[in-house]
Structure 1
Amino acid sequence: MNFSSARQYFDQEIQQPDERIDLAKAALYIAQEEYPNLDQEEYLNALDTMALELQERLPSQRYPLRVIQDINRYLYDDLGYGGNKADYYDPRNSFLNDVIDRRVGIPITLAIVYLEVARRIDFPMVGVGMPGHFLIRPEIADMDIFIDAFNGGEIMFPQDCQERLSQIYRQPVQLRPEFLATVSKRQILARILANLKYIYLNQQELDKALAAVERILLLFPGASIELRDRGLLCYELGRFVQAANDLETYLAKAPHAQDAALIRQILTLLGRTSEQ
């Protein structure tokens, strides 16, 4: 599959209602732009096989905490999945095929493995977009527990989440309800792409950073910051017409943004004038 086909299939997948998006397929389409010869079925079958093996280990009485412990034992003890703490910013940590092959990843991609295996054993779970550290939780009313897929499936309560946030930000953080809000599949995919965007920006791989931004905009077409960043990347890459169009749209959406003066300067260089 070539680059444009992977992009097309990704776009088709995400045009569905959120609950019908196949998260594993969409994540593999993200990876397919990096690995054109990636065999999707191989990795979907790997998830199916994991679920079948896990199903055999589950007790007849499926108490939620017991199911979580069994998933943890299988994924982390038996298969050896774990967080890549040694090389967190390796882009391979964001590609689902690499995570399944290497059995290491970052919170968001390990969470996808966990969510997809759990879905296949009819134990629905959802993503939780905690700032700085992605979590998951069972989709069970009044069950206030969270799972850290990066740290061996550690079971966390809201107090643990507050302590984790304070560690991440190195200062006391007051837990607010929105910090533990569930997120859509589109938001999960956007978070993977945002990780790739920043990795590639730091590596000065601007074409790949642009590819990440373009797919975020397929997910969220009106995202102002992504429009701005696509414009700036196109400017750096010499795609001046696209750059000017995006930067003008950004200014129209956010005329009083902190960087508005800088964006107007760039537009002037591009021969476009923008109203103050």
Structure 2
Amino acid sequence: MNDPWLGLQHAADRDISLLSAALLIAKDEYPDLQPAAYEERIASYAAQLSADFSSAGSETAQLSRLNGFLFGELGFAGDERNYFDPRNSYLNDVLDRRLGNPISLAVIQISVAQKLGLALEGVSFPGHFLVRLPVEEGIVVLDPFHRGRTLDLNELRRRARSELSAREVDDQRLAHLLEPASHRAIIARMLRNLKAGYEERGAWDKAVRCADRLVTLDPLSLAELRERGNLYVKLGHLRAAREDFRRYLALAPQADDAEAVLNQLIACSGPSPRIN
């Protein structure tokens, strides 16, 4: 299959390389990017840690060493000043600048850990993306945006309540929120973050590129289909917008927002608006 994005669409999740897929996102912005060079950099990080991991007494000790290396010695950090800077979502930029957003830093953390046999997993938590490590006593949850800091139950509940506008988050709901994210879901969240950054800047052509990748990853996602249609409208690509709205209605004629989508479709069928 020539198109690697179609390859991701059809791949089983266990066959998706998180690192390779994240670099594939970057290749859209940097067509001349050589992913192998960045994969080798991740491999070199793992090689530098290999001896320390072998002598560490436990998985939590290995995790502490990993965090000390990435966030201490190498200086990876969350970009708090320009959170939505698109460079924070492109893994090559994150590796070069050592600045990123929660999910891009998590991908680096997970990728190095995997090469060392440490079962670090991503968590698509509300608000900031997190990582988790299953241990005998349960799980350790970390915040890669804040130097891999460990989060206790009270802080996790507080964050969940804040993001979900909920008065209380019980054990069952919190456990659900802390389930490991699939590789496909992680890549989709990276694309949504990137799309949000471009929308904030009014870069509709690049935002629609992200939306297109999201639809390719999951052609049955109604939310992504409608969102791509909305972005096509902003670009003045009304024919493409109509196709997305028609497909949305064909897939979900009884959707709660079907009438609103129909109205969008009708609006796109009129005279083309002037785009300044």
Common topology (TM > 0.5):
yes
Q: Which has the higher contact order (CA 8 A, sep 6+)?
A: 2
Distance in 1 (CA, whole Å) between partners of 2:60 and 2:233 is 52
CA pair 80-257 structure 1, distance change in 2 beyond 3 A: same
Is the contact between residue 135 and residue 146 of structure 1 (CA under 8 Å) also seen in structure 2?
yes
Which stretch has the larger CA shift, 164-173 or 113-122?
164-173
2:235 aligned residue (234, 237, 248): 237
The alpha carbon displacement at 1:258 in A equals 5.4
* Residue 93 (1) aligns with residue 91 (2): no
- State the match for 1:75 in structure 2: 70
Task: Note if contact 1:10-1:30 (Cα within 8 Å) is conserved in structure 2.
Answer: no
Give the letter for the 1:116 counterpart. S
Among 39, 42, 49, the residue aligned to 2:37: 42
Question: Contact (CA 8 Å) 2:71, 2:147: kept in 1 or not?
Answer: yes
The sequence identity of aligned pairs, in percent, is 34
Whether contact under 8 Å (1:108, 1:134) holds in the other structure is yes
1:14 is displaced (CA, Å) by 4.8
2:148 is the alignment partner of 1:148: no
Pick from 84, 91, 116 the counterpart of residue 121 of structure 1.
116
Question: Of residues 213, 216, 238 in structure 2, which corresponds to 1:215?
Answer: 213
Q: Partners of 1:14 and 1:97 in 2: how far apart?
A: 23
Contact 2:23 2:91 in 1 (8 A): yes
Is contact 1:88–1:106 with CA below 8 Å preserved after alignment?
yes
Structure 2 CA distance for aligned equivalents of residues 233 and 163 of structure 1: 34
1:101-155: CA deviations, max 9, x gaps?
Answer: 0111111000000000000111121111111111111244652211111111111
Aligned residues: 266
Q: Secondary structure at the match of 2:121?
A: strand
Counterpart amino acid of residue 84 in structure 2:
Y
Map 1:15-54 to 2 at 5 A: 15-54=10-49
Q: Does 1:179 align with 2:174?
A: no
**SS of 1:146 mapped into structure 2:** strand
- Whether the aligned pair in 2 keeps the contact of 1:227 and 1:246 (CA below 8 Å) is yes
Question: Given the alignment of the two structures, is residue 158 of structure 1 paired with residue 153 of structure 2, yes or no?
Answer: yes
Looking at structure 2, the residues matched to 266 and 93 of structure 1 have their Cα atoms a distance apart, in angstroms, of 33
Give secondary structure in 2 for the equivalent of 1:247: helix
Q: Per the alignment, do residues 83 and 168 of structure 1 end up closer, same or farther by CA in structure 2, a change over 3 Å counting?
A: farther
TM-score by length of 2: 0.88
Partner residue, 2:130: 135
Moved more, 23-32 or 11-20: 11-20
- Going from structure 1 to structure 2, the CA distance change for 1:173 and 1:11 (only over 3 Å counts) comes to farther
- Structure 1 residues 220 and 158 mapped into 2: Cα distance closer, same or farther (>3 Å)? farther
Equivalent in 76, 79, 101 of residue 84 of structure 1 = 79
Which moves more between the two structures, 103-112 or 133-142? 133-142
Length-normalised TM-score, structure 1: 0.88
**8 A contact 2:126–2:163 mirrored in 1:** no
Change (3 A) 1:10 1:270: closer
In structure 2, what is the Cα distance between the partners aligned to 1:30 and 1:37? 13
Q: CA RMSD of the aligned region, Å?
A: 2.2
User: C-alpha distance in 1, partners of 2:212/2:84?
Assistant: 21
Per-residue deviation, 1:64: 1.3
CA contact (8 A) 2:84 2:196 kept: no
- Stretch moving more, 181-190 or 235-244: 235-244
Instruction: List gaps (5 residues or longer) in structure 1.
Output: none
The answer to whether the 8 Å contact 1:96/1:109 transfers is yes
Instruction: Confirm whether residue 65 of structure 1 aligns to residue 60 of structure 2.
Output: yes
Give the residue type in structure 2 aligned to 1:26: A
Deviations 1:74-124 (A, max 9, x none): 111100011111111111000100110011111100000000000011112
- Residue identity matched to 1:35: Y
